[in-house]
Structure 1
Amino acid sequence: MPRLLVVHHTPSPPTHTLLQAVRSGAEDDAIEGVEVVLRPALALTVPDVLDADGYLLGTPANFGYMSGALKHAFDTIYYPCLDATGGRPYALWVHGNDDTAGAVRSVETIATGLGWVRTRPALEVVGAPDREALDAAWELGAATAASLTL
């Protein structure tokens, strides 16, 4: 069964709310045969990444960059997973109070280095997530999980 690994750092209510929407979409009953595994960024291990078939990443934008927790996760898994995970799909959501561009760029740079393939444009949410943002997060989760069944 394909496994979708959701790696997240969700310290604030807005990032946690987006995580719940992403998870709800990924675990929708209409998507059969995909195991969804959530892992906080600071708890991520090399086996978690190696055992997954695709990745869904979530982070706040902190000072124009991804969270330190997600960067630590990448530092932990980068070289051990470099040759083994190329070509795997990933998607990303980022929450920021003012701007998300630097955080998106930093994650995409590392994911490109790993050889991961972005399946959708990053979901960038600035300010409190409204209904449109939550629907987009749900769709991101559902589409990413569904892509593993193709």
Structure 2
Amino acid sequence: MSESDEDPIMAELAEQPVLAERTVYGAPRRFDLATMLTVTTSYALMFAIIRACGAPDGMLLWAGGFVTLVGAAQALLFSGASPRAASILASVAFVLVTVGFADAASWGVLMIAGIFWGVPLGYLTGALIGGIFLIADAIRRRIER
């Protein structure tokens, strides 16, 4: 088989794929209109879901404060370069303070709560916040067209 008889599909598969630039989304330091719209809608949905589940007002306050702290940590800690690590740190601190005030627990209970509740909650909340800003970026690109 000569060079010209080569299957074009096999030739395309043999080429190394060009990987897209990977962007890690997190809370920005400055908000534009698309970001404000997306964040406001996200908070409204979160509070509506919590309220629909019949949660008490204290849970609304805790969830709102938690998400706000994690988002602020993403924007401020590490100069915004590592939003997931900032989310985990903020979450562990928030869980430690919450459990410490609610329970007046021992250090062992605080560390277990920080590790088993703070780390996964922080990572998941940070990823959700990143997704919110991914949506805001998509809205911004759509508006600019």
- The TM-score bracket by the shorter chain reads 0.3 to 0.5
- Whose helix fraction is larger, Structure 1's or Structure 2's? 2
